[in-house]
Chain A
C-alpha cells in the first residue's frame, strides 16, 4: 500500500504497516491491535532497551507517551475517515501505576470531539489487565494543512 492509498479513506492497520519501518515508530515496534469508528488500539511490546530503570526492567514512561500519541492521532484520522496533516498541540499523561517487569502496554485512543481546526482526544493504556490501567491521557491536535 502506497501513501496515495492513505487518502482513500483511512485504514489504521495499513497505516501502522506503512509507518512501521520509519523513524521513531520503527524504533519502538508498535503494532496494530484493533479499531472502531472513532478509536484505535495499538500495542507496544516490552524490550529491555525501552526500560526506565535497568534494575527493575519496567517499561519507561516515554514509550507509553509515544504509544498514546500514536493511538490518539490515528483515532482522529479514523474518525475523519481520511488522513489530514496535523500536529500534537498538547498532551497530558497521568501515570496510574507502573507496568510490571517485562510487560508491554496496549493503549486505546479516542477522538471524542472534532472541529475544523482542533481535535480533542483521550486515551487509556494498560498492561496485562484491562481493568488496571497504567496511564490515562487527554490532549489536542491542531490541523496544520490548508
Chain B
C-alpha cells in the first residue's frame, strides 16, 4: 500500500518501512515548521495519526472503512527540523474499535519524541 490521504500528502508524508512493517516518513519542509527551530505540534500529531492509519489499513481488508474516535498525543521532546518517522502498533483490534499506539522518532525508534494513543471506529 503506497497511497496516503490528501492531507498526509500535503505534509509530504510517504509510506516507509521500519523493521519489516509499514511506517510513515515526513520531511522537515517549511509546511511543518512550528516555533523557531522545531516542528509544529499539529504536524507531529498528523504524522502519528498517519502512522496509525497505515498500520490499521495493513490489518484490514482493502475495502474496510474506519473513522476517528479520538487521538491523545504526548509530546515528550521538541521535534527538530529534520526528517521524522512514525509507526503504530495495533494494541487491540476488536469488532468495532481498534486501539493503536503510535510513536514518532528522528534518530532512534526506541527514543521517540512523541507518542499517541489512537482509537478508531470500524464501519
Contacts and interface: CB of A to CB of B under 8 A. Distances in A.
Interface of A: 22-28, 48-54, 60-63, 65-67, 69-70, 85, 87-95, 98
10 contacts: A27-B10, A27-B31, A51-B7, A52-B5, A62-B46, A87-B38, A87-B41, A88-B41, A92-B70, A92-B72
Interface size grouping (class) on chain B: 20 to 34
A50 B30 contact: no
B67 interface: yes
B28 to A, nearest CB: 10
A66 B7 contact: no
B34 A92 contact: no
A61 B71 contact: yes
B6 interface: yes
Interface of B: 5-11, 30-35, 38, 40-43, 45-46, 49-50, 67-75, 78
Contacts of B49: 61-62, 65
B40 A24 contact: yes
Given A23-B40, A88-B75, A49 B46 contact: no
Contacts of B42: 24, 28, 62-63, 65-67, 69-70
Contacts of B41: 66, 69, 87-88, 91
Contacts of B32: 23-24, 27
Nearest to A66: B42
Contacts of A63: 7, 42, 46
